[in-house]
Structure 1
């Protein structure tokens, strides 16, 4: 098949949507498909164009058999709702240069559009309607719902306009898929789909991310004694996680010299978190940059406890992608989730971590106290077992390919 990907994030971005989109494209090429990608210059999660691309504008490159058409875009230093809207629109406008060629060249067999941003589907809808090819819309975050529920956008007229655009895209998609059962329920509740919503979960390379001994971890590199405890948050430092709560809880442990809070990652909220830590004089909180993928297993092995945190209002609007790697590494997580959400139900059913109320300093402190005083081996064994059984990269992508080739059967992609 000749396949066109359209999304703002792509490899070499190490976290979030770009990681999965890149792995998906390269896997499809390894199976004999031809994949082209229209995407942006890489900028996430640092919100800064990567150094090796900083002097580039529109460009085409080949990476692991994938033809990548990259577009320049506006990347704000301080991310606000308005600046993010301009950022996303700048990519759409910039990408018109490549779309103008796509519209007049040999048609693709299918276009796969990745959301967010939610409005990226407009150009693919136009293309697929004119050229008579199918459109697959894959949703990683319910962006508009989240912006509304988190209070990031309060203008009702503007919200209604965005929901209207979203309905157009969903209605004209041949296939709509998303990453959790809870998100499927929310998409179906919009009552605009002409077909089922497919379950297409994120995955992990369980051969690359495996259970490692503490001796193979980054504890020594971080300068932390092997017998000390590490509470780790690793990933994007954005708005939807409510990460200030980590600093509030860390204050309660400032006299326990053998407990360290590590925040590893990048994002629009990092500078603010670092400033708060300085103001509170928290010597037990340390920040490190995002680690390269080949050191991810060693990073995860460093943690005694992982933090997977979300705000209440983000429940079932996004599923933390970091969780797949934590489970594959056999990590025990403290997870903030509301009962009845997909995240809560999975962790509870398979006993893979400690569940706490979101946005509660007291609940998070109690969860950490429990983790530091409990034998966590049962949680860790369950986590690794779940990853092997349900999150295998090869299994999930093989079944995704079956949906791609059967053409658009109504069966779900299941792990």
Structure 2
């Protein structure tokens, strides 16, 4: 099949896209992959066409939509994305007959592009639903449903419904995501919505058979020999509920049995930095965003992973960061809103503990439970569950079973 993958972001010279491994799986299975991705004005990446691992990638210049930019600039840039994508794809991929169009959220700004390419080529469409926008913005009080400000919400909500309408199949990250979509969009048929979870390519070495060597990490960062090393890696912004994370670190600051490593960047980085300075805690290390390989080296020497999500979320979330912990055979503590089912999945399958992300005492209890558990056995459970459920091969089979000739 000729596959068109549409995304507002993709791999760069400094960052590997979450979707690259899945697309490489399509290539390995005999398909031809074409990518069309956005390239913001502020980006150092070159526009235009190039080849990578057999994939044809088209970078399309758009205005700035991320980073520290004004709301007017972001609004104008967002409104013009659809037309810029359609124009570029028509110009460059004019002679390609696509069989399948795949697009992860948030692609609601590309509804017109998807509609017209689908009509021109007769391609089937598959939505990888990763973010339920605009509801996630409402949950965090970044958008309102009513009044004058509600006009923006209603505009994007109409776009969201159009996106569902043009999708032949919708892949959600978890069972809770499936039920949320069906409940809040009754016009969507149940038989087109399924679980197609986040996925990764498995590491070459089975981490269960590799003994964790943590001496280098302990020496470099002066980590006590007997302390269990907990890690959080990823965005440090509003969706992660960083205030709660800080409250948890404060609760555990005198616990000599644990050591916390926080790695990431985002709008709330300063909140954690200020806490560490004021509290003078000795069991927390904060590091800025690291290159992927350097981050992976640290992760592989840690013993417990952590996930944090803002308690206000009404939509179920499933951060992809969980998979990097599981790939390192680490158990997890998952602190989320009541609607997210990731913690339940971890507990039921023996690789983690959950708590609500407004319950500091619950987090502390989860820490105690995990350090008194068989961490190696829980890590083995995490790895085995990953192998069975979250590989690129699994996701490929879920998607393509609908389109096999």
Normalised by the shorter chain, which TM-score bucket? 0.7 to 0.9
Q: Tell me what 2:175 maps to.
A: 181
Q: Tell me what 1:123 maps to.
A: 113
Deviation (angstroms), 1:88: 4.2
Q: Tell me what 1:70 maps to.
A: 59
**Structure 2 spans left out of the alignment, 5+ residues:** none
Separation in 2 of the partners of 1:271 and 1:295? 22
Q: Tell me what 2:134 maps to.
A: 144
TM-score calculated relative to the size of structure 1? 0.83
SS at match of 2:153: helix
Q: More deviation in 269-278 or 349-358? A: 269-278
SS at match of 1:204: coil
CA RMSD, aligned part only? Answer: 3.1
**Structure 1 spans left out of the alignment, 5+ residues:** 407-415
Deviation (angstroms), 1:350: 1.0
Per-residue CA deviations over 1:289-348 (Å, capped at 9, x if unaligned) read 444444555322322322111123335432111112212322121112456642133123
Separation in 1 of the partners of 2:353 and 2:259? 19
Q: Is the 8 A contact 1:235 1:322 kept in 2?
A: yes
Q: Tell me what 2:151 maps to.
A: 157
Separation in 1 of the partners of 2:356 and 2:13? 31
TM-score calculated relative to the size of structure 2? 0.85
- Relative distance call for 1:158 and 1:282 in structure 2 (3 A) is same
Separation in 2 of the partners of 1:84 and 1:367? 41
Matches within 5 A, 1:6-405: 6-12=6-12, 19-41=17-39, 49=43, 54=44, 56-72=45-61, 73-78=63-68, 88-89=78-79, 91-92=81-82, 94-101=84-91, 104-154=94-144, 155-189=149-183, 190-194=185-189, 195-208=191-204, 210-211=207-208, 212-215=210-213, 219=217, 220-256=219-255, 259-295=258-294, 297-314=296-313, 316-337=315-336, 341-405=340-404
Deviation (angstroms), 1:65: 0.9
Q: More deviation in 304-313 or 222-231? A: 222-231
Separation in 1 of the partners of 2:341 and 2:13? 26
SS at match of 2:50: strand
- Relative distance call for 1:87 and 1:139 in structure 2 (3 A) is farther
